Amino acid sequence: MAPVSLVSKMYGVCLHAARQAATLNSARLLQLRNFRMSAARPQQPFDSSLEKPQFPGASAEFVEELEFIQPNVISGIPIYRVMDRQGNIINPSQDPQLSKETVLNFYQKMTTLNTMDRILYESQRQGRISFYMTNYGEEGTHIGSAAALEPSDLVFGQYREAGVLMYRGFPLDSFMAQCYGNADDLGKGRQMPVHYGSRDLNFVTISSTLATQIPQAVGAAYAYKRENTNRAVICYFGEGAASEGDAHAGFNFSATLECPLIFFCRNNGYAISTPTNEQYRGDGIAARGPGYGMLSIRVDGNDVFAVYNATKEARRRAVAENQPFLIEAMTYRIGHHSTSDDSSAYRSVDEVNYWDKQDHPISRLRHYMTARGWWSEDDERSWRKESRKTVMEVFERAEKRLKPNPELLFTDVYHEMTPHLDKQREGLRRHVQQYKDQYPVDLFDKPAE
């Protein structure tokens, strides 16, 4: 009887475990179903007796007059601002009331970025690095938006958002190491200059391919929503990238999946050499948001406070309401598109000088600080001298560092070296050994013992 009793007990335990698993699976399926249903908008009850459109694809009324919708149904989406060009607060209720220390940090980050740009741009012109892209004129969009985010929020950049990474604490040494592709580069010299990235600072590595970050950001935001992490994603891009198919796919997916995501468009007037009037016929990029069911706003990108306010509110609501926001920051690219571009071929010096001298985000913030007694001419001279000295010291260190070991070409793809990669690595070793007089091996870091 003992074996029979034992079998009966085992059967009872197994049956109980199976019932528990079924209950858990049912609960999990119900949870997933509820999640999906919460993201779906319920269809309104169908009543065939009403003379109203019943088409499921749009909300509208019937009309009896033939009329095409005009491209610009309103005079133009307004541009939200907090400060005028002289740094005066226009509406006190919109003043973010930031502390002196915070505002000084804004200014110092913006000017340090400007100084780093000038030094690295000249470095490329002297043949010391292969490529560079400046951020002249767009510093306000970087610092204003970065300050409004939480450190845990994930950033997808395009290639002109170095200030966002700088505000998050990316060291000058790391900027220089990446542009020089030396042994200290986090990317191990595998990327071309200005393609920064930092896992620790939640900044996804830049990709040269235009607009690929947009659908990727949607996927990341959807994952955050599923995990209920109270985190948001911000995705930066230029108005030129908004013409890519990836932008349209990303906008639509983010709206239908209701993702905690901020699309941040830097409309700087040019997609390389193509001006905005040759890129699109509608009212900029913000006007596209309503067509996808997204809340949108257009801000003065040269007003760091306007950018801060808009991004902070968009971030708050994106997380609280699980929906995407589109911010179009109107600004101007003062520098060439890159060191491979000569913008004098397609725009006038007078046009550039206006934005550089009359409507620059750095000078606007400086006016604001000066009016409050927070900054003086002496402070300016002292800070400019100090920041340039700091950047130059980092620059000189980076230039003297060795290049990454060539064998790093074969790592970080597979967890274990595959036979075909091992064969290629051995081939490289033999080749360099045979022709070592043709390769500056002394300039490269040695493999770890």
User: Residues 6 or more apart from 275 whose CB is under 8 A from it?
Assistant: 269, 346, 347
pLDDT attached to residue 61: 87
Strands 270-271, 274-275: pairing is antiparallel
Instruction: Tell me if 301 sits within 8 A of 266, measured CB to CB.
Output: yes
Average pLDDT over residues 161-169: 98
Residue 173: pLDDT band with limits 50, 70, 90: very high
List the 325-330 sheet strands across, edge first: 203-204, 154-156, 233-238, 261-267, 325-330, 295-300
Tokens at 429, concatenated: 């070793």
Say if residue 292's pLDDT is above 70: yes
Q: What phi, psi does 262 have (nearest 5°)?
A: -110, 115
Instruction: Round the CA-based radius of gyration of the chain to a whole number and report it.
Output: 28
Classify residue 383 by burial, with Cβ atoms within 10 Å: 0-12, 13-18, 19+.
middle
Alpha carbon of residue 165 to chain centroid: 10
Percentage of the chain exceeding pLDDT 90: 82
Residue 169 pLDDT class (50, 70, 90 cuts): very high
Percent of the chain with pLDDT over 70: 88
Tokens of 396: 């000189």
Distance in angstroms (rounded) separating the CA atoms of residues 27 and 204: 35
Average pLDDT score over residue span 305-320: 98
Q: How far is CA 380 from CA 107, 109, 134, 356, 366, in A?
A: 11, 14, 22, 18, 9
Mean pLDDT over 294-303 rounds to 98
Cα torsion 121, 124, 130, 136 to 10°: value is: 10
Report CA-CA distances (Å) from 146 to 185, 223, 249.
23, 22, 25
CA 18/CA 79 separation, integer angstroms: 61
Model confidence at 30, pLDDT cuts 50, 70, 90, reads very low
Helices H / strands E in the chain, number of each: 14, 8
Q: What is the pLDDT of residue 132?
A: 98
Amino acid residing at 394:
V
Let me know: does 332 contact 359? Beta carbons within 8 Å. Answer: yes
Model confidence at 421: pLDDT above 90: yes
Judge whether residue 49 has pLDDT over 50. yes
- Say what the pTM is: 0.87
Q: Are 198 and 117 in contact (CB under 8 A)?
A: no
The predicted structure's pLDDT at residue 21: 47
- Whether the pLDDT of residue 22 is over 60: the answer is no
Whether the predicted pLDDT of 152 surpasses 90: yes
How far apart (Å, rounded) are the C-alpha atoms in residues 102 and 97? 10
CB 176 within 8 A of CB 398: yes
Q: How many CB atoms lie within 10 A of CB 261?
A: 36
Query: How far is C-alpha 307 from the geometric centre of its chain's CA atoms?
Result: 14
* Helix/strand/coil for 259: coil
Distance in angstroms (rounded) separating the CA atoms of residues 91 and 99: 18
Residues with catalytic function: 122, 208, 337-338
pLDDT above 70 for 431: yes
For the cut 60, the answer to whether the pLDDT of residue 289 exceeds it is yes
pLDDT at residue 404 in the model = 97
H helical segments located in 43-130: 100-125
Averaged over 327-337, what is the pLDDT? 98
